[in-house]
Amino acid sequence: MSEKETEISELGEFGLIDRLTKDFPLKNPETKLGVGDDAAVLTFGEKDVVVTTDLLLEGIHFDLRYVPLQHLGYKSAIVNFSDIYAMGATPRQITVSIGVSSRFTVEHIETLYSGIRRACEVYGVDLVGGDTSASVTGLVISITCIGDVAKGEEVRRTGAKPTDIICVSGDLGAAFMGLQLLERENSVAAGQKDFQPDFAGKEYILERQLKPEARRDIVELLKQKDIKPTSMIDVSDGLSSELLHICKESNVGCRVYEDKLPIDYQTALMAEEFNMNLVTAAMNGGEDYELLFTVPLTDHEKVEKMEGVKMIGYVTEPTLGAALVTRDGGEIPIKAQGWNAFNH
């Protein structure tokens, strides 16, 4: 800790909350009362309310040796916004609870919050509450996000029907390859003084890992084009895992084409450098925060024209199961090999 830094115990819990939350002006008319009472008060009128929550733990979900605190704050908020968009809803409020061990100063936590604030600014979300506490070891971040959606307009995972087209936004596997790169550079750096990792030409995969975005644009585009997906989910644990969720919840099967998977050039190069299977990275890497959704066959022309969306397969009868159709026409059953915190 440098001389300019402040120990959290100097401020105490309420002092810390005041300092962290003072730069979060409320933006939404749906927020009647923010931080500072026993609970926040929100007013949605006739709209429905959607709620999601995520718990992020140091040493499990993030490694502060190579994740800057500001990016961590940004990403912690984004992963929640992404879940709200995956319901076809709009995020409006978040609560942020943090547990911090004594190695963190007030300035560290302010840096974390500056990332959360930036995400709230970009996505128009209000910080309305939270909790701060000491922790015995490491950093704990728990965020709950609340959003709204016109009554009955939420998009669940349950409505996919055979012959529906399966679509995914953006590209897949980049965040995973970015993580591989960061972990390699970190282990190379260990013990080497003044080591400077070379990230030239790899900016995209790093950004996908460190500073992902939520696909608000896709949800807005779907509304503009009057497309209501029959099911939707965000890709956090990997495409395979999310496809299986939709298949299970909608009681359907699916076929997804290997040669239709959207993969960025940098992702492919990095997989080659690491001698990793590119399709595995795209199918199981996770942390893409893209939207996976299904639309009726009759929307084919509409989605074909949507920028940033690719049709990757179709929904089948449940008896056919979920499979990846390889380039040579073979079929590989899809299994969830996505990220599992309990096998980490």
Restricting to residues 16-35, name those near a second copy by CB under 8 A.
16, 32-33
Shortest Cβ 196–a second copy spacing (Å): 29
Count of positions on this chain that bind a second copy (CB under 8 A): 74
Nearest C-alpha neighbor of 266 from the set 278, 280, 284: 278
Shortest Cβ 21–a second copy spacing (Å): 13
Tell me: does residue 51 bind a second copy (CB under 8 A).
yes
Site for a second copy, residues 203 to 232, rule: CB under 8 A: 232
Distance between CA atoms of 244 and 301, rounded to whole angstroms? 26
Q: Return phi, psi of residue 331, to 5°.
A: -125, 130
Site for a second copy, residues 228 to 247, rule: CB under 8 A: 232-234
**Binds a second copy (CB under 8 A): choice among 72, 84, 256, 278:** 84
Site for a second copy, residues 123 to 152, rule: CB under 8 A: 128-138, 140, 142, 144-147, 149, 151
């979300």: which residue's tokens?
125
Distance between CA atoms of 224 and 65, rounded to whole angstroms? 42
Distance between CA atoms of 15 and 318, rounded to whole angstroms? 56
Tell me: does residue 274 bind a second copy (CB under 8 A).
no
Distance between CA atoms of 150 and 163, rounded to whole angstroms? 27
Shortest Cβ 150–a second copy spacing (Å): 11
Compare residues 161 and 263 and give the one whose CB is closer to a second copy: 161
Tell me: does residue 46 bind a second copy (CB under 8 A).
yes
**Binds a second copy (CB under 8 A): choice among 21, 28, 52, 209:** 52
- DSSP letters along 68-137, please? -HHHHHHHHHHHHHHHHHTTT-EEEEEEEEEEE-TT-BHHHHHHHHHHHHHHHHHHT-EEEEEEEEE-SS
Distance between CA atoms of 92 and 50, rounded to whole angstroms? 10
Shortest Cβ 186–a second copy spacing (Å): 17
Compare residues 30 and 258 and give the one whose CB is closer to a second copy: 30
